[in-house]
């Protein structure tokens, strides 16, 4: 299977995102019955997600035709939850052109792009570690370290570098999702950076990678990428994927570690759903 112009690989990449998000939401709802997030799956066409303050849909238009009725069903799913007034559809280059036409007819506009990266693990071989320091270690997170890992990742993501208990819990629940592993970088015994990996068949995905502000610029993102590359290959995965914003530090780290840009996704944003007449 090649990396480029490959609709089957693109479908697998979108499906691993769907699988992980569905399992995450299901686990959160088990822990907290009052948790309001939910998802709507449409007959193998794709899946719409309602999270704390964001509605988005993944996988639509790749292999199954999307109808106007499908879009309206998803918009009603979002509107009925009264959390956010806009829906976002992630549209790949492999999506049926009619899908984009329908979105434009509904008044959707381009919000931003995301870059999807892929590494061929069968062709990749680990090199001798160039990062050596007695002060720095990287560990695979055990269950009793899940909170520490989640606090580190949430702190790295937070704009003010301060994690709330809510944001820590939001990250920590990923730890319970099946077929996943978390990694933590420690500097002088203190947590500095964290990352996550999920696998599904021949494909693994990297996400939830962040570094606490005071520890940035030390190569910890690359250390976490390399560790998870080795981990994915050890599990027999053939491909490793990650999604970043275009042309940012994370994107450059993907290139630096041998990932290739497979495709860019257009994130299409609806007008206010409160004003949409279905």
Average pLDDT over residues 10-32: 92
This prediction has a pTM of 0.91
Average pLDDT over residues 200-212: 96
pLDDT of residue 1: 52
Of 27-31, 121-125, 206-210, 224-228, which gets the smallest average pLDDT?
27-31
| Cβ atoms < 10 Å from Cβ of 39 | 18
pLDDT of residue 160: 77
C-alpha to C-alpha distance for 149 and 146, rounded to whole angstroms: 5
**For the chain, percent of residues with pLDDT exceeding 70:** 94
| Cβ atoms < 10 Å from Cβ of 73 | 14
- Please give the distance of CA 260 from its chain centroid, rounded to a whole number: 17
> What band does 277 get if pLDDT is binned at 50, 70 and 90?
very low
Q: Is the pLDDT at 24 greater than 90, yes or no? A: yes
Q: Is the pLDDT at 128 greater than 80, yes or no? A: no
Average pLDDT in the chain: 91
pLDDT of residue 36: 82
* CATH numbers and ranges of domains, the chain: 7-115+264-275 (3.40.630), 136-237 (3.40.630.30)
Contacts of 196 (CB under 8 A, 6+ apart): 153, 174, 180, 181, 182, 183, 206, 207, 208, 209
Average pLDDT over residues 48-56: 89
Q: Is the pLDDT at 278 greater than 70, yes or no? A: no
> What band does 12 get if pLDDT is binned at 50, 70 and 90?
very high
């Amino acid at each position: 299977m090649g990396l480029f112009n490959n609709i089957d690989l693109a479908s697998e990449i979108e499906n691993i995102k769907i699988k992980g998000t569905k399992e995450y939401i299901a686990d959160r709802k088990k822990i907290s019955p009052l948790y309001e997030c939910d998802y709507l799956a449409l007959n193998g066409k794709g899946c719409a997600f309602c999270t704390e303050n964001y509605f988005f849909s993944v996988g639509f238009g790749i292999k199954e035709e999307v109808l106007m009725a499908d879009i309206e069903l998803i918009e009603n799913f979002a509107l009925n939850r009264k959390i956010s007034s806009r829906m976002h559809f992630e549209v790949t280059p492999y999506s049926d052109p009619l899908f984009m036409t329908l979105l434009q007819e509904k008044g959707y506009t381009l919000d931003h792009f995301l870059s999807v990266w892929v590494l061929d693990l069968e062709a990749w071989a680990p090199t001798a570690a160039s990062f050596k320091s007695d002060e720095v270690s990287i560990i695979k997170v055990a269950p009793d370290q899940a909170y520490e890992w989640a606090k580190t990742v949430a702190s790295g993501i937070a704009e003010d570098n301060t994690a709330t208990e809510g944001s820590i819990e939001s990250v920590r629940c990923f730890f319970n999702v099946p077929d996943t592993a978390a990694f933590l970088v420690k500097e002088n015994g203190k947590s500095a950076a964290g990352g996550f990996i999920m696998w599904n068949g021949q494909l693994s995905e990297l996400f939830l990678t962040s570094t606490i502000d005071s520890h940035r610029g030390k190569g910890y993102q690359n250390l976490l990428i390399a560790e998870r590359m080795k981990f994915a290959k050890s599990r027999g995965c053939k491909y490793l994927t990650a999604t970043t914003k275009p042309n940012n530090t994370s994107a450059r780290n993907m290139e630096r570690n041998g990932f290739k840009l497979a495709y860019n996704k257009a994130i299409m944003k609806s007008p206010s759903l409160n004003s949409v007449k279905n």
